[in-house]
A and B are shown apart, each in its own frame.
Chain A
Amino acid sequence: MAAQTLDLYLVEELYTEEERMVRDAVREWVDERILPHIEQWAWEGRFPRELIPEMASLNLFGATFSEYGLPGLSNVAYGLVMQELERGDSGLRSFVSVQSALVMYPIMTWGSQEQKDRWIPRLAKGEAIGCFGLTEPDFGSNPGAMRTRARRVGNHWVLNGEKAWITNGSIADVAVVWAKDDEGIIRGFLVEKGTPGFETFEHKGKYSLRASVTSQLAFTDCQVPETNRLPGAAGLKCPLSCLTQARYGIAWGALGSALATFHAALDYAKTRKQFGDAPIASHQIIQERLVWMANEITKGQLMVWRLGRLKDEGRASFVQVSQAKRNSCWVARECAKLAREIHGANGVVNEYPVMRHLMNIESVYTYEGTHDMHTLILGEFLTGIPAFMPPREEKKS
């Protein structure tokens, strides 16, 4: 059975019985099916596709929806799922985040009935994999300036452009792609695998998220039927609201990574002996690091719990989501570094999970809005003054 994890403020009692059951089910699955193999997968740079049917049978995809026989989880339960998955590996959590928040969410929100009927059941069962194409090689923090274009020709749209850093890109059966039309309005398209003019290339040489597929998408006069356009989506606010969904999950997920590195460090400190027969956990400097980690994780747990409850009540704002994503990723990144220090040289080998989490969190810290961008979002909220180019439609550039 799964071990108990850090819970200094009895946050456990803030979860409902169902939320705990959901968390425990995923925790047990991660302990038994992921942790024994993840170092090998990460080392080989391989995403374990063979696990997709298992993830589907657990109902990990689209778990907050209740249509199409989906579980209808609360946002806190969904957050706990993300936490447990990322306690396993950030790449694994990313796969589920993308499928749920960046593919099923936009189809459910802006898709036609036919699009929903065609894709949601298959995505839920893991029979189809999805990816989300917004970021471009030259436009990360400023997606509104994207270069990808969609031109209407009869009953089709012709797409031209490139997308970069796309999780699941080369293994996806359907890509949710965002492109500007001739009027400069950003629209969403479902581009199916094998569509002429649609190619994918895997990003090679990643030191991070190695158990996850990351790709570039290229569109060259790629014809997409009008029936594959998301009819309800118009404007940058649509892809940004997908990101708010995904960032919410990351805020929980990153704490899972922090829990993993904290527990690895605590176990190591209690067993590693140095300067005599006492464990290094008896050293004040080691205790200070462990306390720092536990303290920040505790604050983070309370923050994401509150955010989840607000989200269930429909009161969560994107500013709050930015703050939680920013905080959790920072905490996880610092915890990974401290855990690495406590592990000494052992912190760099894959006998321990620390270096993998440390490398993974570098991506998570940067993707779905960099730490700095979230700082500026909060800065604008506090001062009323945007210190960056705010997200807005750019007319014909």
Chain B
Amino acid sequence: MIDAFLVALNGVIEPYTLLLMAIGALAGIVSAAIPGFTITMAIVLTLPLTFAMPPLQGIAVMLSVYVGGLSGGLFSAALLGIPGTPSSVATTFDAFPMARSGLPGKALALGLWSSFFGSLISIVVLILAAPPLALLAVKLGPWEYFALIVFALTVIASLVGDSLLRGLIAGLVGIGLATVGPDPLMGRERFTFGYEMLSAGIPFLVVLIGMYAVSQLLSELETSPKQQAQGSTSLISGDMRPHNLETLKAIVLRPVNVIRSSLIGVFIGAVPGAGSSISNLLAYDQAKRSSSHPENFGKGEPQGVIASESGNSSTAGGGLIPLIALGIPGSAVDAVLMAAIMVHGISIGPRLILDNPELVYGMFLSMAVASVLMLCIGLLLMRAFLNLLNVPKYFIVPVVLSCCVIGAFTLNNRITDLYLLAGVGVVGYLFKKLDYPLAPLVLGVVLGPIAETNLRRAFQTSTDWTLFFTRPISAALLALAVASIVYSIVSYVRRSQQAGVPDSNS
């Protein structure tokens, strides 16, 4: 164990790796600071750049982008009142009023330090939780794995978007897309219709880039550049000094808020489908409820900024728990990280920690180092980030679309993947316009082959289908899946009754 840790430490603190990680953290902050450019897009576009790197270095860079991205949304949230990413929605509630009142530096520093502490707390939980969970997961059979995936997909479908039915349909469409190409056990071709470009299947990353990046960028064009120019806010002026000592006091002397918010973030991050877009709001809500001055929230209350930013940044560590322990990505970003590891020929699953401990320890260390880099870069370049918020969409959208093309092409060096990218992009845009959640679809593509493999293995072992319901862990997971659907329906009915306005189907 110590050997593996030292190998990992040696890999992470290598100057070249640190330099690349610093660039990654900077890229993450920059991308998340630009409204409309999401963390998922940033991490997807980073992936091809890591192909030529050793596995640990590549993962370290991607984790740096991730950690940087989780705090980057703070800049546009605090300075423009526009959340750069969905994970910084709650940050706008107090960071923006604080910045408007002449303390933009303090608002940003509070957010950055909170993100730093949130990340650190999530890493501690990750280190404590992932290895024992992985040891348990090694003992799981195909029945339990299949049940786990059913549970994950139902939770994702019920948590994301407004409609459980559309969430479930999207998840199943994702699994359906994954059945195109060779079947995972016998390699028999399915649904290729004679097209050679489908014979290898639809690559998951092409689906991810098309669904998230292309559809999101097209959506950005719905606001015309003229409207964009009219809507742009003048930059905030005021004290840009970070007041580090004062900021640290505000966090450390009242640790309950940052610890509670971080633990909420870790828990939400570990639940498949939930993520930083939910955790920041939940953490903010809990901070407000337990505050002795809830009336100050929304008017520039420092504890509001702390809760939101520590809540969203800590989801990174939480999301890695099911990925490392079970090989199940809980979010699109985790799925890309999974792909990045698999590109290097390393299989993901509970044996990852047993077979490649240096990589897992390297991931823990990279997260910690990335948090420090994010804090330093954020505090040092605070003023420079102000200018980024004014980059117009007519530059960003075409340039990022061309980067998507690079990402899709470099994956397999196949030009036909670009045609698939365009097709998936169009479908993704239509799904987005029709309010289908994209996260279940993308995760369906990732989880589909795992589900099929385990289901077929289960039946190869025994044709008795009741084993899914008689083995305790499998039965418990399937019961939880049913419970998540029932809960979703009940809460929808309650919401409808309270609002009195019927939405489309739940």
| Same complex origin of A and B | no
Residues of A within 8 A of B (CB): none
